Amino acid sequence: MRIEGKEYRTIWFENNVVKIIDQTKLPHQFIIKDLITVKDVINAIKVMEVRGAPLIGATAAYGLVLAIIENNDQSFLKKSAENLINSRPTAINLKWAVDRMMKKLSGVNSDKILEIAQNEAKEICEEDIKFCEKIGLNGLKIIEQIYNKKKDTVNILTHCNAGWLATINWGTATSPIYHAHKKGIPVHVWADETRPRNQGANLTSYELNEEGIKNTIIADNTGGILMQRGEVDMCIVGTDRTLSNGDVCNKVGTYLKALAAHDNNVPFYVALPSSTIDWKTKDANDIPIEQRNSEELSHVEGIDENKELKKILIYPYKSKAMNLAFDITPAKYVTGLITEKGISEASHESLKKLFK
């Protein structure tokens, strides 16, 4: 998608270097960063220079390419794979991508290993783009239905950033929106600010602006009253891990939006590629929920009047804070799962049928 009119992907590989857009600096600074070692990749995932489930998976895949360039040794590769998987605990795409890479690379001692790794990491990216585009076309049908009934702007609420910046291109939750916009359907997005990292304000609103899509940032607690007032036609969110029973783990606050949507008969959709489905875990209580540094809550970052990035403390300095990064939305609150293969009910039977 575009930034200042120029097409970008979120990650690419050039001259043995992984190139990323540093998302910790957006929207105020657009910086392309070089990742040279597997340690750089692990750090980029941890500090969220790259974030969003599909993108951290793809970045980890390239992390293994860098590991091979650094030290073409099977035990180094294995250790790097473990460290990459542990860099963030919740999004299943990370493990999915590393496992997929290791299936191709384990035990390969020939000179061909680098080429194999590069091809597989590239394939993970290309596949994600293809899947996100299909998610868009499938989700478009729902937006079209609402528009055909309403004959007026379709108001869509989203939480966090499940946009192209969270994937390689298109995004998951935003892909139906981009497709609707391209088709001339008037859409307007309510972007939840998404405290504490403000992915909704800093990333979703930013990327929608760059594509010319109308959007309004709202505080995380505003969605409820907007739904009561009939100002939300549908919600679409992304997910970091969806269990085969349809329970959805996503950015903290998603659950509260789903409850409000349920109470107000607003359809609540979750958009995801199949790489986000966890077929193994049976109970949502077993999903590891990331707890991040409380400094992300107690401090805010922005630019001052001289356009310099500043970080300031906003809490009483003696106060404790707790920063859980994700929550679980039970399947019963999910209207449907928009996948690359079509729209599924949030249930084991329906998902199994689609992904036989």
Q: How many other CB atoms are found less than 10 A from the CB of residue 252? A: 22
Task: Determine the angle formed by the axes of helices 53-70 and 74-85, rounding to 10 degrees.
Answer: 160
Interface positions, 248-267, toward ligand MRU (CB under 6 A)? 250-251
Sign of CA dihedral 277, 281, 282, 287: negative
136 interacts with ligand MRU by CB under 6 A: no
238 interacts with ligand MRU by CB under 6 A: yes
Choose between 117 and 176: whose C-beta lies nearer to ligand MRU: 176
Closest approach of ligand MRU to the CB of residue 119, in Å: 24
Instruction: Read off the DSSP letter of residue 308.
Output: -
Closest approach of ligand MRU to the CB of residue 106, in Å: 27
The H or E element that residue 116 is part of is helix 113-150
Choose between 114 and 256: whose C-beta lies nearer to ligand MRU: 256
Distance CA 105, CA 74 (A): 9
Distance CA 17, CA 13 (A): 6
223 interacts with ligand MRU by CB under 6 A: no
Instruction: Read off the DSSP letter of residue 204.
Output: I
Quick one: tokens of 290? 């990331």
Could you say which of 3, 162, 248, 334 contacts ligand MRU (CB under 6 A)? 162
Cα angle for residues 38, 41, 43 (degrees, 5° grid): 110
Closest approach of ligand MRU to the CB of residue 230, in Å: 25
Stretch that binds ligand MRU, among 34-42, 48-56, 183-191, 315-323 (CB under 6 A): 48-56
Distance CA 71, CA 65 (A): 10
**111 counts as catalytic:** no
Could you say which of 135, 227, 325, 343 contacts ligand MRU (CB under 6 A)? 325
Choose between 54 and 223: whose C-beta lies nearer to ligand MRU: 54
Could you say which of 10, 138, 239, 298 contacts ligand MRU (CB under 6 A)? 239
Strands (E), 176-289: 187-192, 214-218, 234-237, 241-243, 248-251, 268-271, 277-278
Closest approach of ligand MRU to the CB of residue 301, in Å: 15
> H-type helices in 240-293, by residue range?
254-263
Number of residues engaging ligand MRU in binding (CB under 6 A): 17
Choose between 80 and 199: whose C-beta lies nearer to ligand MRU: 199
Instruction: Read off the DSSP letter of residue 210.
Output: H
52 interacts with ligand MRU by CB under 6 A: yes
The catalytically annotated residue of 192, 220, 240, 327 is 240
59 interacts with ligand MRU by CB under 6 A: no
The amino acid that residue 87 corresponds to is S
160 interacts with ligand MRU by CB under 6 A: yes
Give catalytic residues, as residue numbers: 240
Q: Which residues make up the interface to ligand MRU (CB under 6 A)?
A: 51-54, 91, 160, 162, 166-167, 172, 199, 238-240, 250-251, 325
